[in-house]
Amino acid sequence: MIRNEAIKALTVVGLCGWLSGCGVFWGDDAYFRNRAGDYQQADSIEPLQMPEGMQAEELGKLYVIPPIVESEFENIAIEKQARVPRPDPLAANALADRVKIQRLGDERWILMNVAPGELWPKVRSFLNTNNLPVAEADISRGLIDSHWVQFKTDLSTSDRYRVVIDQGVQPDTSEIHVLHQSVPGTVNPEEIRPWPSVSSSSEREAWLLDELAAILAADEAIGGTSMLAQAIGGEAKSALQVEENEPVMRLRLGKDRARATLYHTMRQEGFAIYDSLADQGIYYLHYQPLESEEKRGWLSGLFSRDQVVVAQSPYSLEQLLTVVPQGEAFDRAPLSNRQAEQQFPAAPGYLVFLTGEEGDYTVRLRDPYGKRLQPVRARDLLMLLRKNLI
């Protein structure tokens, strides 16, 4: 009994000592104290001052906090019935290849599903690795110019490249454009300052574009992510906005590309084109929601994976344009009421109007009589159209 009591006493004493010893390691005054709130007591310090005779150059903020902006487009709600807006859909190409080479006429560019900030260091590293050292770089414009070089296979010319990294048409996508310049070897290239509007050699432009795309597609561990390059090119080249309570889509593209990408997206996701006057930027559009894979059944997958929409309308686009409001009446058009239309009754589909000027176009979606759609309906359809822009 005496021995058991002694063991218990020693145990209690040891436990008390261990608990008291814990205070040495944990607690407010201990070595391993919780420092999570220390930042709240940090003091502000004055910015560094440059010595006299030296010029300061502002690089910009590394971690820019964007302003919180309420999106009118997302907050459109049905009258007397609140509706939680859906998130922006992922770009269709975001689920496909990570790197693509797009073509429009004679123009070629690389499309990537990453932000420009990730591409900037990779492109610079690629140029240096391939003996195209960087001469000038403008991170605010996404421009990288190489030094003049000579190809080993052709010493008769001096060549240089300009690589332009820009925002894509979808959020968090990027485009890379390449411009090539060549001068005869007898000319001092340093005296040639202006860049041409198009490449001197389409073959040498294509060579660099293909090599760069191959390296980026291989996802080699070159470079990192540049925080300074995160704002290259501003916002995406497409945006969803509200103008006078009407949802619209804005496109920061040239005329040819705006028409081409709009034509492409109007044939995706259940859309089809009845008729069009492409030169005037007017399209007669059909839409029918595609059936989900569950509704289609497993048997349909044995024959075709694509759902091709074939649409016909009893009326032509020229007929419908005779009743579409013009001028200011078009801008102030009332809401759609298809049942009240006496001329061309029960016309199906929608009209798409592409208006604006080079680099700044507006896409409006109306009913087949040119009247405004319900804002929620217009918003949902425009979101689907934007999803497949390229």
* Domain identity same for 208 and 288: no
Is the residue at 13 inside a domain? no
Where are the extended beta strands (E) located within the chain? Answer: 99-104, 107-112, 134-138, 143-146, 149-151, 154-167, 174-184, 238-243, 246-251, 271-277, 282-287, 350-357, 360-366
| Residue 263 covered by a domain | yes
Indicate if 194 and 144 belong to the same structural domain. Answer: yes
**Looking at the predicted structure, is the pLDDT value of residue 91 above 80?**
no
Task: Provide mean pLDDT across the span 312-327.
Answer: 95
Between the two ends of the chain, the Cα-to-Cα distance in Å is 88
Average pLDDT over every residue of 323-342: 94
Q: Is the pLDDT of residue 55 over 70?
A: no
- Report how far apart, in Å, the C-alpha atoms of 53 and of each of 57, 58, 80 are: 13, 16, 66
Do 142 and 278 fall into the same domain?
no
Mean pLDDT of the chain: 81
Q: What is the pLDDT of residues 349-383, one digit of tens each?
A: 999 999 999 999 999 999 999 999 999 999 999 99
Total domain count for the chain? Answer: 2
If you average pLDDT over residues 209-223, what whole number do you get? 78
3-state secondary structure 224-290: CCCCCCCCCCCCCCEEEEEECCEEEEEECCCHHHHHHHHHHHCCCCCEEEEEEEHHHCEEEEEECCC
pLDDT, residue 117, reads: 82
Residue 80: pLDDT over 50: no
**Co-location of 269 and 189 in the same domain:** no
The pLDDT of residue 144: 94
Q: Are residues 245 and 365 in the same domain?
A: yes
Which tokens hold the place of 26?
């944990």
Is the pLDDT confidence value at 205 over 50?
yes
Instruction: Note the pTM of the prediction, 2 decimals.
Output: 0.71
Residue 84 within any structural domain of the chain = no
Q: Give yes or no: residues 254 and 345 share one domain.
A: yes
Q: Which CATH number do you get for residue 177?
A: 3.30.530.50
Note whether residue 9 is domain-resident: no
Cβ neighbors of 185 (< 8 A, separation 6 or more) are 150, 155, 156, 157, 158
Residues 334 and 372 reside in one and the same domain: yes
**32 in a domain, yes or no?**
no
Query: Cα separation of 383 and 35, whole Å?
Result: 46
Place of tokens 């050699």: 201
Do 382 and 244 have their domain in common? yes
Residue 130 belongs to some domain of the structure? yes
Q: Is the per-residue pLDDT at 78 higher than 50?
A: no
Q: What pLDDT does residue 94 have?
A: 47
Q: What is the CATH number of the domain that holds 299?
A: 3.30.310.170
- Dihedrals phi, psi of 280, to nearest 5 degrees: -95, -5
- Inform me whether the pLDDT recorded for 222 exceeds 50: no
Q: Which of 183, 218, 253 is the last residue of a domain?
A: 218
**Same domain assignment for residues 186 and 312:** no
User: Where residue 170 falls among pLDDT bands split at 50, 70, 90?
Assistant: confident
Residue that terminates a domain, selected from 173, 189, 218: 218
289 and 196, same domain (yes or no): no
Higher-confidence position of 222 and 342: 342
Burial 199-209 (b: 16+ CB within 10 A, else e): bbeeebbeebb
Q: Are residues 242 and 362 in the same domain?
A: yes
Asked whether residue 198 falls in the same domain as residue 249, the answer is no
- Which of 186, 218, 250 terminates a domain? The answer is 218
The answer to whether the CB of 169 falls within 8 A of the CB of 261 is: yes
Residues 6+ apart with CB under 8 A from 346: 338
Please check whether residue 67 lies inside any domain of the structure: no
Instruction: Give domain status of residue 47, yes or no.
Output: no
The DSSP 8-state label assigned to residue 189 in this structure reads G
Domain enclosing residue 291, as ranges:
238-387
Residue with the larger pLDDT of the pair 30 and 250: 250
